């Protein structure tokens, strides 16, 4: 069995960390067996720049929204604007959006309003929602559960690092949990335990690059090529071969992001 390709389901290729060597970064990823990358636009005014990246590289897809830490810095997101950019053939998800009380608790009201608008866009577009949740487990669970009852939508908890209770609630809704480089850190036993109890068909992997590089690159700039390191740790957690784990997470990714199915390597 040949080693399968995998997808970095969440990275930020438009960030300044990749200025000057973006082509090399994408090439490195493909050579490492990462044949798709979803780059996330965190402020809608940056969408044209992100779109230009995905139109340059066949293997790069994108999503867009207003990151919760940016919700107070710009005009409130408009559902019609999200639906308009979602028409692009390589636009595969809504967000990232969510709640972050660790750094920006004081903007809770703006964050919640923004999140509700993103959920509405996901419901109307039938595209999956990409959620950032930090130090806000109770509120994020209440909002997502309530809005899901109003109108169903699909969702991934990006870079999941919350507690078991939130994990169970999100899985009960049929949502996905995404592994980042955090699961490779020595002190992440509790998080690895949570993932070990998660159905393997609800798992994605990501880098969140340029952040959270796994060992042996920890403390350096992360990049999509390193998602394979996280995937290998994921295979260990589930006690399966890397090949079997990689095949499964690719199936999961394409189930959640159906617009991505026709895109692959050829960087």
> Given its phi and psi angles, is residue 7 left (phi above 0), alpha (psi -120 to 50 degrees) or beta?
beta
**What average pLDDT does the chain have?**
96
Integer Cα distance of 257 and 219 in angstroms: 31
Q: 157 to each of 17, 216, 233, how far by Cα in Å?
A: 24, 25, 19
Whether the predicted pLDDT of 266 surpasses 80: no
Exposure string (b/e) for 129-160, b if CB count within 10 Å is 16 or more? bbbbbbebbebbbebbeebbeeeebbbbbbbb
Work out the pLDDT band at 2, boundaries 50, 70, 90.
low
Domains, the chain, in order of start with CATH, read 6-260 (3.20.20.140)
Query: Is 133 within 8 Å of 140 (Cβ atoms)?
Result: yes
What number is the average pLDDT over the span 84-91?
98
Query: Is 5 within 8 Å of 35 (Cβ atoms)?
Result: yes
Q: For the segment 164-213, what is each residue's pLDDT rounded down to a tens digit?
A: 999 999 999 999 999 999 999 999 999 999 999 999 999 999 999 999 99
Q: For the segment 119-170, what is each residue's pLDDT rounded down to a tens digit?
A: 999 999 999 999 999 999 999 999 999 999 999 999 999 999 999 999 999 9
């Amino acid at each position: 069995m040949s080693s399968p390709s995998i997808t970095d389901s969440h990275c930020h290729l438009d960030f300044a960390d990749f200025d000057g060597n973006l082509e090399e970064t994408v090439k490195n990823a493909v050579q490492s067996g990462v044949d798709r990358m979803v780059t996330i636009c965190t402020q809608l005014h940056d969408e044209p720049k992100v779109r230009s990246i995905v139109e340059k590289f066949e293997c790069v897809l994108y999503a867009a929204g207003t990151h919760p830490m940016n919700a107070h810095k710009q005009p409130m997101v408009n559902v019609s604007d999200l639906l308009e950019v979602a028409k692009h053939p390589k636009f595969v998800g809504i967000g990232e959006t969510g709640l972050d009380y660790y750094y920006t608790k004081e903007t809770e009201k703006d964050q919640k309003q923004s999140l509700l608008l993103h959920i509405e866009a996901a419901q109307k577009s039938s595209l999956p929602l990409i959620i950032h949740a930090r130090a806000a487990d109770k509120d994020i669970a209440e909002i997502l559960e309530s809005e899901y009852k109003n109108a169903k939508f699909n969702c991934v908890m990006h870079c999941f690092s919350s507690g078991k209770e939130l994990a169970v609630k999100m899985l009960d809704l049929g949502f996905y949990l995404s592994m980042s480089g955090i699961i490779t850190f020595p002190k992440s036993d509790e998080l690895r335990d949570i993932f070990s109890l998660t159905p393997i068909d609800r798992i994605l992997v990501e880098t969140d690059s340029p952040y959270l590089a796994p060992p042996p690159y920890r403390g350096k700039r992360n990049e999509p090529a390193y998602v394979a390191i996280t995937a290998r740790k994921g295979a260990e957690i589930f006690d399966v071969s890397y090949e079997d784990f990689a095949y499964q997470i690719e199936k999961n990714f394409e189930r959640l992001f159906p617009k991505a199915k026709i895109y692959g390597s050829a960087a």
